[in-house]
Amino acid sequence: MELPELSLQTILLYFAGGLGIFLFGLFYLIEVLQKQAGYRLRHILDRVTDHPLKGILAGMLLTIAIQSSSGTTVITVGLVSAGLLSFRQAIAVVLGANIGTTMTAFLIGIDLGEYSLGLIAIGTIALILNKKNVIGTWGKVAFSIGALFYGLELMGNSLEPVATFGRFTFFLENGMNQTFFGVVIGAVFTAILQSSSATIGILQEAYAARIVNIENALPILLGDNVGTTITAVLASIGASLKAKRVALFHVWFNIFGTCLFLLLFPVYLHVVSLAADVWNLNARMTIAFAHGIFNVTNVLLHIPFIGLIVYTVEKVFGKLEENKKTLEMDTLFIEQSPSIALGQAKNECVRMGSLSLQSLQTAREYFDTNSPKLADSVARMEEQINELDKKISDYLFMCSTVPLSLNESEKHSYLLESIRDFERIGDHVENIIELIDETQNSRLGLTPAAKEELENMFTQAIANVQNALYAFDFHDKQKARLVLEGEDKLDLMERKYRKGHIIRMNRGECNGQAGIVFVDMLNNLERIGDHSANIAEGVLQSKHL
């Protein structure tokens, strides 16, 4: 689309409009891809092993999938903070993300400007016809790519006349020739937009319009890589020390690479220019190639030193013991990746369930020994359970305020139901402690038969909670079925023991008050089995946990 002769004011308006459409298309594309890949993100990174190449591959593929290295890095910072990734694994993921981010520049290098309006039209029609299924998703992708390229075309066409303005030409010749000045421009602009893909796309258009030459463009490109570190730094504020290590490495990686390429700038310039001539690359693809050379070379230089980097950073920050079960929920993920946010909420639910199980086991020990310390321990655990209940509920409410996929909505509902069951198990354990106290304070003696029957109920109830917690944590349907079988046994035991109690009462073997306590304890243990069964049924009914 050729623009007529325009004033500087009109050209700036065209550029601003094109920039807005381009940024909208780029960020909308990232949002759509992140949402579609969201429920896979945590599973991809959870499978990262200590082998650097696998971590690099995971980071690269994840970044290509969501079209945002900043998004991958922020997610990695959060997972390290939550204890789901080690620092060593995170380094490999960050290295891979820096390779994956070059794909956006190569995508922009493919000139689809003439098809942009057609893509917007196709995407709009698909969205109108069906917003929620696969057609709607592809419609969003088509619309965002079309908007991205249409914005680029507007910017490119508006920039072409700018290079002929005398004042601007003077600025280019006297200001942009300063390499350091170009690095600063790239870093500041990227820090403001918090997207190197966006600023590199703008640079590609500026170079294509001959606003800048290759000597000016490459320092700006290097500055873009420095500016992109701001996102990881912001994500690490208030996070754990382990997360700050990842942010530090991300900063180091880009600053080291930038300094190295500035020192070797003549070589860098020669390689890029030679590649453009030999392969007949267009202006946009030349910048994409330069971006790829920087990141791939930088990654290759760091791979042999991953172990040394881990050692050095841990020495600088102090050695921390990596604890995979030290968990916390990070609100950063609610917008960035709801799937990982729900994964962190699930991990907190597991911690809550573990406390419920531990309190039940402690209650049984208290029943056997009457040690006051054990009753105090159960009381403290109950406080923790109630605190986690509120914390997880509030976090899940925040998760419900953002768009969730069908799988994420299913998981969200199941987590809400499960925390209620884990909390109620804790409440029933608290009731059991009070009933045990009543037998001691009132000196109500339970018969040996009654004590043996309660021991049997404790054994089965504990087994049910253990299996339910395992099924919940690992989505193990076999364990879930064992819980339902155990619930049937618990129901049979409760009815059998209740009848046996009536027989003992008729024989005069136990008094009425002790009998009430016995029946109440049976009832609470049976209700614990019911809540375990609720959790197990959720596992059997849910497909994506």
Question: How many angstroms separate the Cα of 466 from the Cα of each of 156, 350, 378?
Answer: 63, 11, 17
How is the chain split into domains, by residue range? Answer: 8-164+175-317, 337-541
Taking Cα atoms as reference points, which of 265, 168, 148, 270 lies closest to residue 209? 168
Residue 186 contacts residue 219 (beta carbons within 8 Å):
yes
Q: Which string of DSSP letters, residue by residue, matches 256-296? A: HHHHHHHHTHHHHHHHHHHHHHHTT--HHHHHHHHHHHHHH
Q: DSSP label at 506?
A: H
Cα four-point dihedral sign 278, 280, 283, 288: negative
The Cα-based distances of 258 to 234, 248, 291, 340, 358 in angstroms read 21, 15, 11, 32, 53
pLDDT (tens digit per residue) in 269-311: 999 999 999 999 998 899 999 999 999 999 999 998 888 888 8
For the chain, how far is it from start to end, CA to CA, in angstroms?
Answer: 49
Tens digit of pLDDT at every position of the chain (545 positions): 544 555 667 777 887 888 888 778 877 776 776 666 555 555 566 555 557 788 888 888 877 776 667 667 767 766 776 566 778 888 888 899 889 888 878 877 776 667 788 888 888 888 887 766 677 778 888 888 888 778 877 776 776 665 455 444 444 445 445 688 889 888 888 887 777 778 888 888 888 878 888 888 899 999 988 988 887 777 666 556 766 788 888 888 999 999 999 999 999 999 999 999 999 999 889 999 999 999 999 999 999 888 888 888 777 665 544 444 444 677 767 776 787 788 888 889 999 999 999 999 999 999 988 888 899 899 999 989 998 999 899 999 998 888 887 888 888 999 999 999 999 999 999 999 999 888 877 666 778 888 899 999 999 999 999 999 999 998 899 999 999 999 999 999 999 998 888 888 877 777 777 778 889 999 999 999 999 999 999 999 876 55
Instruction: Kindly state the DSSP code that residue 446 receives in the 8-state scheme.
Output: P
Residue 227 and residue 206 in contact, taking contact as beta carbons nearer than 8 Å: no
Per the CB < 8 A criterion, the answer to whether 206 and 286 are in contact is: no
The per-residue pLDDT for range 381-403, each reduced to its tens digit, is 998 999 899 989 999 999 888 88
CB 137 within 8 A of CB 32: yes
Q: Which fold has domain 337-541?
A: Methane Monooxygenase Hydroxylase; Chain G, domain 1 (1.20.58)
Radius of gyration of the chain (CA): 31
Sign of CA dihedral 523, 526, 532, 536: negative
The angle, 0 to 180 degrees and rounded to 10, between the axes of the packed helices 8-46 and 52-66 is 140
Q: What is the pLDDT of residue 68?
A: 67
C-alpha closest to that of 234 among 222, 249, 224, 244: 244
pTM given for the model: 0.61
